[in-house]
Amino acid sequence: MNFNKVNSIIPLPLILLITISTGPLWASNAVLVGDYQIQIFTEPDPLIAGREAGIVLKVLRSQDNQPARNSKIYLNIGNTLQSLSSKELELKDNSEYKIAREVDEFGNYELKTVFTNPDIYYIRVAIKELEGEPINAPLKAGFTIQVNRPAKRNQSLILIFFTFVCITVIGIYAIHVRKKITSTDTKGFNYLDIPWIKRLLQSKSLQLTFQVPLMIVFIFLLILAFVDIQDSGKNLSVIVIWTLWWTGIIFTFVLVGRLWCYACPVGAISEWFSRMFKPHRLFPAKLRNLWLANFMFLLLTWLDIQIGVVRNPLVTGLILIAITATAIGIGMVYQRRTFCRYLCPIGGLIGIYSMVSAVELRSKDGEVCISHNRKDCYLGNERGNGCPMFEVIPKMDYNNFCNFCGECIKSCPKNNITLRIRTFFKDVWTSRKRSLDEAVLAVALLGISIFVTGDMLEPWGGWMESAMNLFPAQLLGIEYQYTVEVMTKSILFFGISLLVIPGLILLAAAFSNFNVGNGNHNGIKQTFITFGYMFIPIGLSMHLAHNIGHLLNESRVITPALQRVINTYTIFNTGEPNWQLASAPLIDSGSLYWIQMSCFLIFYLFSIYAGYRLAMNNYQDSHTSFKALVPMIFISFVLMVVNVYLLNLPMAPRHVH
């Protein structure tokens, strides 16, 4: 089950009782009672009046963060906080306390109930027995939870109806266009044959129309990261960048590839400075690959794991300034979008995931390009600037570096550019460009997604504690616990991302070569590169499934965060922000779960099919390709099982309000 945290509000008498008898309260919604940490969760989230609800208490030993098993925990649910604030907390035999049953090995105890009315309810907790040992004086705690009114179905029906209307209108228009216009592309319908689409992409002001507003928003958010409240749950900069942008941008890769790069303010400012200074230098030949970008992404992810970049507005601002300053400096020294192509921390990730997209921009007829000596699509002319990403369109056969800027469409004198829809993920098996840096990135992204997801799970604390106990701190002369934690996390992060997952696939490559035997002309390295691309859907599925949870569970907080900024920094008053309502997700946990599992299933099928096509393209016959593919499918299955297992564990939200 996936449970979302509920904020705890402890009335003054209970605060005094817990503080006097057991010490200070824990942060977040955790309460320290005796030697134990207690947290509360609800299922579903938000709670809906009239529907069955699960109240779950998690009990952990504070000294080692391990679950407290075989305990007896009693709950009493009151109607409102106000009516209960003065009630006694004693546990009597004839009281209305009900026992919560132990549901798993992670210290979770659940009580099923039904809330009849929407309200704020007060949950009193009394623990009479811990880990099989009776307690003379029961440990006590208290929490509040909010129960919402049932959602109005009419609103959902209107949204669904409107969506169907849009799909119908678009479908009718597409059929009409395909019937009316004869495409000039023999490989598929060329959407540039639709006059208004071609005029739009040839417009010199279209890109600026997106870049300038986004630049203004970017600068505004950058300022807020430094001057606004440093609470990540209320700072608009952190919420927009990490909850909306970072979680939402991943879905664009699947649909339209690198389209974000088209409007990216950091890429724009780098390109503007390059046009202003007109440098003649090209990036060093040995560095024209993804290794630096891969390293930057690993470094950024490692920083987030260690210091919580997504939970720290100041650090977020500093990192964005560093990235922007680097982009400006590179633009002043090197041609075009050198930063975007070779150095952007997320450029490699965007490129590798853009291979999934069903939209492609290509040369229409290769023979026309061959006969044309001057490659205006690359060099540019009076009509266009040439490709800012250093792509020569006749040679381009995958989406990794195309951001659909339209410069080639403007500058091509032969009208030989096509924009078409194709099969999802087709680039993986049709492209001739496969390299070790891309294959390593594809595999490392899978390891990173697994580790980052694990870092947000409720059992993670216990797993980390066990790993830290194995760390040879005394042998190395390390005394500080924090140092041990940092080093343990780092070893696990880089070990899983760069050793364990790549090692498994390298081992599978060795088995593939062994199975093929004398019929194989590839070394292990080449087999790793060939099949490394089939694991792109496995890593992408975890990124999508993981982040759709954040997007749907946490995106509503942007409303009160924006209200607070307007109220604080302008003369306008938008009313009191409702943080409690904003904590309610946009979709119930059951529906979210099946969306995530469907995502896993679909992308797992893509992985198998991509492996099949790669094998058929790289081995002499179907029998040999089958023997080469089997170990890879086995590893793909194992890794997908890991994905599914992790997302079936309780996950904490990214920000706590």
pLDDT for residue 511: 94
Tens-place pLDDT, residues 27-77: 335 788 878 888 888 887 778 888 888 898 888 888 888 888 888 888 888
By the 8 A CB rule, do 251 and 399 touch? no
* Residue % of the chain over a pLDDT of 70: 90
pLDDT for residue 156: 60
Among the residue ranges 16-30, 292-306, 626-640, the one predicted with the least confidence is 16-30
pLDDT for residue 238: 93
pLDDT for residue 79: 63
Confidence of residue 7 (pLDDT cuts 50, 70, 90): very low
Among the residue ranges 56-65, 341-350, 383-392, the one predicted with the least confidence is 56-65
Domains of the chain (ranges; CATH) run 4-148 (2.60.40.10), 181-429 (no CATH), 434-646 (no CATH)
pLDDT for residue 153: 56
Name the pTM for this structure.
0.78
Confidence of residue 631 (pLDDT cuts 50, 70, 90): very high
Round to whole Å and give the CA distance between 15 and 139: 13
pLDDT for residue 483: 87
pLDDT for residue 15: 34
Confidence of residue 520 (pLDDT cuts 50, 70, 90): low
Round to whole Å and give the CA distance between 185 and 416: 9
* Amino acid, res. 216: I
pLDDT above 70: residue 17: no
pLDDT for residue 10: 38
Confidence of residue 313 (pLDDT cuts 50, 70, 90): very high
Tens-place pLDDT, residues 113-147: 888 887 788 888 888 888 888 888 788 888 888 88
Round to whole Å and give the CA distance between 568 and 235: 12
pLDDT above 70: residue 88: no
> Pairing state of beta strands 47-48 and 133-148?
parallel
Among the residue ranges 28-32, 238-242, 330-334, 422-426, the one predicted with the least confidence is 28-32
Place of tokens 């890879």: 632
Among the residue ranges 60-64, 185-189, 232-236, 395-399, the one predicted with the least confidence is 60-64
Among the residue ranges 101-110, 277-286, 599-608, the one predicted with the least confidence is 101-110
pLDDT for residue 137: 79
pLDDT above 90: residue 528: yes
Higher pLDDT: 640 or 46? It is: 640
By the 8 A CB rule, do 251 and 351 touch? no
pLDDT for residue 519: 60
Tens-place pLDDT, residues 413-462: 999 999 999 999 999 999 988 999 999 999 999 999 999 998 888 788 78
Give the angle 628-629-630 at the CA atoms, nearest 5°. Answer: 100
pLDDT above 50: residue 94: no
By the 8 A CB rule, do 385 and 393 touch? no
Burial class (CB in 10 A: 0-12, 13-18, 19+), 41: buried
pLDDT above 60: residue 576: yes
pLDDT above 60: residue 90: no
Round to whole Å and give the CA distance between 81 and 79: 7
Higher pLDDT: 158 or 492? It is: 492
Give the angle 615-619-622 at the CA atoms, nearest 5°. Answer: 75
DSSP β-bridge partners for residue 459: none
Q: Is the peptide bond before 650 cis (omega within 30 degrees of 0)?
A: no
By the 8 A CB rule, do 513 and 527 touch? yes
Higher pLDDT: 397 or 144? It is: 397
